[in-house]
Amino acid sequence: MKLYLDTANVAEIRELAWLVDGVTTNPSLVAREGRPFRDVLREICAIVKGPVSAEVISLDRDGMVREARELAAVAANVVVKIPMTEAGMQAVQVLSRDGITTNVTLVFSANQALLAAKCGATYVSPFVGRIDDAGGDGMAVVNEILTVYGQYEFRTEVIVASVRHPGHVLQAALLGAPIATVPYDVLKKLFGHPLTDAGIARFLRDWQQVPSA
């Protein structure tokens, strides 16, 4: 499973660029950085060779297509995030014909993911954490999407998004999801385990008992 870093913070990206396969951003993440959007995007694309998702702001088809073309011109590895709306799917159809890679965002159901795939989306991002917050089962939705895509051999890849904890990452991997995009703090937690820390401490303590030469 590929791991993307869900952030627009350049320092976090530089730290983990050796590990991650791509980066996803959104307007909220970019706003936290207090820098011009294009400058941030250009810098991220220079650090990470894999896909870097950047989101349009327009809500009408023509506006989204125009923004998408501008974003795609920033760097070859830009993936344009398009919201799951009727106008958004019309934009995805146009962009797909143009050869521009797209990531359909704010997906909360398998039906939405089905429409995104039919319109030619490169990626689709179900927001598992937000589904859980609303009393649903985010990973169950991911499973439904993977099942539908498998039955019809859609080429659209699933990016498990809105990941809240390491358990989401594990569940995504167990379901065979091709990609999960993970916040910095959650990704850092994947390295650790209390028994690992205890084991290292014990080995170092025991090593102090070894006679010196």
Q: Is 118 a catalytic residue?
A: no
The structure tokens 């294009």 sit at 38
Q: Which long-range contacts (CB under 8 A, 24 or more apart) does 209-213 make?
A: none
Q: How many Å apart are CA 123 and CA 112, to the nearest integer?
A: 12
- Biggest alpha carbon–alpha carbon distance for the chain: 76
Q: What residues form DSSP beta bridges with 103?
A: 81, 123
Please tell me which residue in 2, 49, 81, 118 is annotated as part of the active site: 81
Helical spans, DSSP H, in the chain: 10-16, 27-33, 37-47, 61-72, 86-98, 110-118, 128-133, 138-152, 166-175, 184-189, 194-207
Residue 210 vs residues 131, 197, 202, 206: alpha-carbon distances, Å? 54, 21, 13, 7
Q: Which long-range contacts (CB under 8 A, 24 or more apart) does 197-206 make?
A: none
Residues taking part in catalysis: 81
